[in-house]
Amino acid sequence: MWASPSMAMATVCSWWTPAAKSSTGDQLLFIIAQHRADQGVLQGGVVGTVMTNFGLERALEERNIPFCRASVGDRYVLEKLKMQGWQLGGESSGHILCLDLATTGDAIVAALQALVPMVESGLSLTELKRGMTKLPQVMINVRTEDPGRAPLVRICATRPIGQPRALRPWPRADTPFRH
């Protein structure tokens, strides 16, 4: 197993198992949050983004760990963490913020925080992330001629887990459709 900080300013943490299976930022957040909660040192809850896998939200809920979503981007996660008074958050991409240890996302800090539960428990990365089941999700961009439909999209974003959700409109009609 190895961790790989991204070359892009070392802000993204990627983990690979010996079977060459990668782990998402959501799974790393789960491992870190669960360990901190078990140790009694998790301050508050976890902030994810609108793109965070529902499996993380469910796994944290089962463990009574609060969870909330921010818009995509470190700055929005950081803003929500500060607003909630929490310390742990991140994105599916592997941008993870541990505000008790660093003021911004740092891949080295995130890698070390994911390593601590492995060392202390003697469990592998694969074993630790079994507590979270990634749920299938698909992102499809949908073009709309009417940016005024944005309120409808925001309403759809609040639908319960497991139901189709829309996150934001794609207002420019001249933008080509991609999925």
Instruction: Check whether residue 14 and residue 102 sit in a common domain.
Output: yes
The amino acid that residue 156 corresponds to is C
Do 49 and 64 lie in one domain? The reply is yes
Q: What is the pTM of this model?
A: 0.75
In the chain, how many domains are there?
A: 2
Residue 2 has pLDDT above 60, yes or no: no
20 burial via Cβ count (<10 Å: 0-12, 13-18, 19+): exposed
Average pLDDT, rounded, for the chain: 78
Strand (E) or helix (H) holding 69: strand 67-70
Q: Nearest-CA neighbor of 58 among 125, 134, 128, 157?
A: 134
The domain boundary residue, chosen from 98, 114, 131:
131
The CATH number of whichever domain residue 101 belongs to comes to 3.40.120.10
**Do residues 45 and 64 make contact, with C-beta atoms less than 8 angstroms apart?**
no
Give the pLDDT of residue 4: 47
Q: Please say if the pLDDT value at position 138 is more than 80.
A: no
Query: 125 lies in which domain range?
Result: 2-131
Token pair for residue 157? 């974003």
